[in-house]
């Protein structure tokens, strides 16, 4: 599936931009990818610190099944914070964007959904 591979490569390009050596400052509190612990011992193959966003982006890509598992962690998240990531690999603008949106529920649980923007 060429579009999925294009999306994955685009994500890596964006991550590389945010983590360029000139931006490699320590994230607030001295945290780093290696400090993050996920529930149920979930593990990711790769992680990038995003110091300008005070965040971390974890991922595992499995070429044989063309699947990408991601986790986005942000320091100092309040109970009203929501997160969205979106890319448009086929055209300019929002129409055609594939987005992932997450917002908090109760007891440190998050609801997440995907969205395909088809019109204004």
Check the CA dihedral 3-86-18-48 and report its sign.
Answer: negative
Task: Give me the pLDDT at residue 47, please.
Answer: 92
Task: Report pLDDT for 108.
Answer: 67
Q: Any idea which of 4-8, 11-15, 17-21, 108-112 has the lowest mean pLDDT?
A: 17-21
Query: Per-residue pLDDT for 53 more than 50?
Result: yes
pLDDT recorded at residue 27: 33
Q: What is the pLDDT of residue 16?
A: 44
Q: Which range, 13-27, 47-61, 105-119, is most confident?
A: 47-61
Counted residue by residue, the chain has a size of 120
Number of other CB atoms surrounding residue 93 within 10 Å: 9
> With 0-12 CB in 10 A as exposed, 13-18 as middle and 19+ as buried, what is 31?
middle
The closest alpha carbon to 10, from 101, 90, 114, belongs to 90
Q: Are 94 and 118 contacting, i.e. CB atoms less than 8 angstroms apart? A: no
Q: Which two tokens stand for residue 42?
A: 């979930």
- DSSP labels for 82-105? -EEEEE-SSSSSSTT-EEEEEEE-
Averaged pLDDT, 45-60: 88
- Tell me if residue 116 falls in helix, strand or coil: strand
Q: Which of 44-48, 53-57, 79-83 is least confident?
A: 79-83
């Amino acid at each position: 599936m060429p579009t999925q591979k294009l999306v994955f490569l685009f994500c890596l390009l964006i991550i590389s931009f945010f983590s360029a050596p000139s931006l490699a400052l320590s994230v607030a509190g001295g945290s780093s990818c290696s400090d993050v612990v996920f529930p149920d011992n979930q593990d990711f193959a790769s992680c990038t610190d995003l110091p300008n966003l005070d965040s971390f982006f974890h991922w595992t890509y499995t070429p044989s099944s063309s699947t990408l598992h991601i986790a986005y962690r942000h320091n100092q998240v309040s109970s009203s914070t929501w997160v969205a990531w979106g890319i448009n690999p086929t055209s300019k603008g929002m129409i055609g964007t594939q987005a992932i949106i997450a917002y908090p529920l109760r007891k440190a649980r998050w609801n997440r959904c995907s969205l395909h923007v088809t019109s204004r």
